[in-house]
Structure 1
């Protein structure tokens, strides 16, 4: 799985397990039930990559993705083809799509981190490395940290790996030597490199590392290690964007939620904004159980009811947010409607007030972002969502257990929104091809378990 570099390295090679390794086997997530055209294109792309024909590999990999756009393996292979061609922007997008679709192969993670590093986005690279650190070979993880701008951390990981192994491999030693060099510890870099590099080539090795050690040479370091030539890259073709191909359950959920819009519009107070929705999708009835688990709650006609903040409901029900998930009781239903005169007065004031740009302080609404088969998957889904949508990092996550038609789901919702900001957040999520709907804290989705099990955690 090693790759030679343009720096003239002889064996052992200084590498990460990426790119051609990805092309060398059918990646996790590639289904056997794929359409023949997708399978054929995937196989042709693999063959082209093995032969070093990057452009041909891109053509075939793009065809495979277009034929089966939600296959994470096809997306990862396309990223490998882009990487081989030196198209780091496109590679980062494809590898990121593969991760969003559930690919957890360490090579996909490393490739995504390398592509981000080559783009100068070291923080994004470190973030994904942190998330998947436990499944990545320390020899690769340490060097990836060093390349992403944290050489001291890379040295720490690699040094622990050397000390913990019965016999350190040449790859591990040379990766540690390079990490030392990137950290500016040239004495230790030379000592470690001398373990495997012939004495007559050691000076040349140190010189080559020195020419690429400056922080601004992040792209040259990655390109040299992968033995590719960086190219001007406008990004992955728009026709392949993952947002163009929402999942079937997303279509089902959106259609189910949209079916409730007329009732909601009729029941909403005069001052409440109403979102117009398109006609339901034809294929929306494919999976009724998923639709119900992820569907918008039916509206209760209470035109005179006052919104009750989430914080007030939480206090009434004894809910407190802490750093770890805890089992909580569901919030009580909304109290009786306020007197008609007071409600009418509020509506008149709202009609004459200036437009509200940010109503998050209202804390009356939540945004449901997904429904998963287990608590672990729900927590993992929240992590992916925060990476995809940075706006969620300032919001608490609410994970609620629900049973629909005998099947248990774990719903993931973000709290801390007002009505307008909740709809705005959903618009952002839907534009990325994901399912989403907003609901008032006083009217949670149907199907919550009778015993009121709710899991809430604060993720900042």
Structure 2
């Protein structure tokens, strides 16, 4: 089975996609072998179209292949890749889900599914997908996908050991460098990027990463790394929907056993602030709120921080801190901190923390439940905010 891999400067080696057309099976015959052969023919034409970057033709040919052989998992995955290259993330996610339904061990489809879930803002589902297929996805690919899904600490736990191996390549090092940049560790990211890049290319690479660190929409990072232009998506054609097998009738006297419970291997931190349209706070409050760090429970010191936002300078960040305290005074238990984005910019990243990972995750969840935006990251040289002394906005 061919593995789909992330290569080069944080790009993902995927086959391409294009615009959908009306699908009709090219071989309307009852001969299954003829239809299978016809499906293979169109699948091959789709692959050639992907190589030529003819996304529309790739989608059309792969849709015919799936229509002729709907139970073929490889054709379903190919269809997902075509949709993904065409910028149709919702349809791509459905195709990859169908491919995994047909072939549970298709780790290439799982990696692509996680990327499309990130692109549509389903970060929790993306992390669960990566956890379920952790053993089948190469560490450089899984680490970068975790970073895109918002689990920066988990991404570093995967990428750092991989980068220390003697066989570590440029892709592994660059994926780690990008993840370090997302956590705000720009000096370390620069040093690692320079290991494989000429000196005149390092600044350009870091400038690209700085733009990706502040996405305006959920799909921005995935689209940029894959070189994809997001497009309008009418959804997967009804004719291509995967029909689940009919359930087997169970005798009334025998109770059917409950389905196994899926347990994610990753403790999901709060999703990164990628939602382009704010969600009303009321819509985020579940029936039973998760337990969050409160005044009564002491916080455990550690190396994790909540990044609350990036501001024009430290003075502007002070207003951001005031707003955060008005939204949730519990944050006043901790001293506000921050870091400059880099030496060439006055951009100031407001943070708060210095606590254990579990406490940071719970604090960020609580803040998001109150309409705030944050994500959890490792310490990156955070220093006490210069305007903390005498602030009257601390929690009482």
TM bin, normalised by shorter chain, reads 0.5 to 0.7
CA contact (8 A) 1:73 1:103 kept: no
Aligned to 1:19: 15
Q: Secondary structure in 2 aligned to 1:202?
A: helix
CA contact (8 A) 1:177 1:193 kept: yes
Q: Partners in 1 of 2:141 and 2:48 — Cα distance?
A: 26
Q: Partners in 2 of 1:16 and 1:52 — Cα distance?
A: 15
Q: What displacement does 1:103 show?
A: 4.4
Task: Identify which range, 82-91 or 148-157, moves more after superposition.
Answer: 148-157
CA contact (8 A) 2:73 2:100 kept: yes
- 1:48-447 matches, within 5 Å, as 48-163=49-164, 165-214=165-214, 216-242=216-242, 245-247=243-245, 250=246, 254=247, 294-297=248-251, 299=252, 366=256, 383=262
Q: What displacement does 1:191 show?
A: 1.2
Q: What displacement does 1:366 show?
A: 4.4
The alpha-carbon distance between structure 1 residues 56 and 66, as it changes in their structure 2 partners (threshold 3 A), is: same
CA contact (8 A) 1:65 1:74 kept: yes
Q: Partners in 1 of 2:151 and 2:187 — Cα distance?
A: 19
**Structure 2 unmatched runs, 5+:** 18-31, 264-396
TM-score, length basis structure 1: 0.50
Q: Partners in 2 of 1:156 and 1:210 — Cα distance?
A: 22
CA contact (8 A) 1:17 1:107 kept: no
**1:162-198 deviation per Cα after TM superposition (whole angstroms, max 9, x unaligned):** 12x1132001000000011112211211111111121
Q: Partners in 2 of 1:383 and 1:32 — Cα distance?
A: 37
Q: Partners in 1 of 2:169 and 2:119 — Cα distance?
A: 27
CA contact (8 A) 2:250 2:256 kept: no
Which entry has the higher C-alpha Rg, 1 or 2?
Answer: 1
Q: Partners in 1 of 2:74 and 2:90 — Cα distance?
A: 19
Q: Partners in 2 of 1:383 and 1:68 — Cα distance?
A: 30
Task: Identify which range, 201-210 or 100-109, moves more after superposition.
Answer: 100-109
Q: Secondary structure in 1 aligned to 2:219?
A: helix
The alpha-carbon distance between structure 1 residues 216 and 366, as it changes in their structure 2 partners (threshold 3 A), is: farther
Aligned to 2:320: none
Structure having the higher helix fraction is: 1
Q: Secondary structure in 2 aligned to 1:16?
A: strand
Q: Partners in 2 of 1:54 and 1:205 — Cα distance?
A: 27
Q: Partners in 2 of 1:367 and 1:65 — Cα distance?
A: 33
Q: Partners in 2 of 1:2 and 1:128 — Cα distance?
A: 16
The alpha-carbon distance between structure 1 residues 182 and 37, as it changes in their structure 2 partners (threshold 3 A), is: same
CA contact (8 A) 2:91 2:233 kept: yes
Q: Secondary structure in 1 aligned to 2:157?
A: helix
CA RMSD in angstroms comes to 2.7
Q: Partners in 1 of 2:163 and 2:228 — Cα distance?
A: 29
**1:114-163 deviation per Cα after TM superposition (whole angstroms, max 9, x unaligned):** 11111111111100000000111101110000011112211121001112
**1:223-259 deviation per Cα after TM superposition (whole angstroms, max 9, x unaligned):** 11111111121211122111xx333xx3xxx5xxxxx
Aligned to 1:47: 48
Q: Partners in 1 of 2:211 and 2:217 — Cα distance?
A: 9
Q: Partners in 2 of 1:32 and 1:148 — Cα distance?
A: 41
**1:341-368 deviation per Cα after TM superposition (whole angstroms, max 9, x unaligned):** xxxxxxxxxxxxxxxxxxxxxxxx6467
TM-score, length basis structure 2: 0.57
CA contact (8 A) 1:2 1:13 kept: no
CA contact (8 A) 1:138 1:158 kept: yes
Q: What displacement does 1:99 show?
A: 0.6
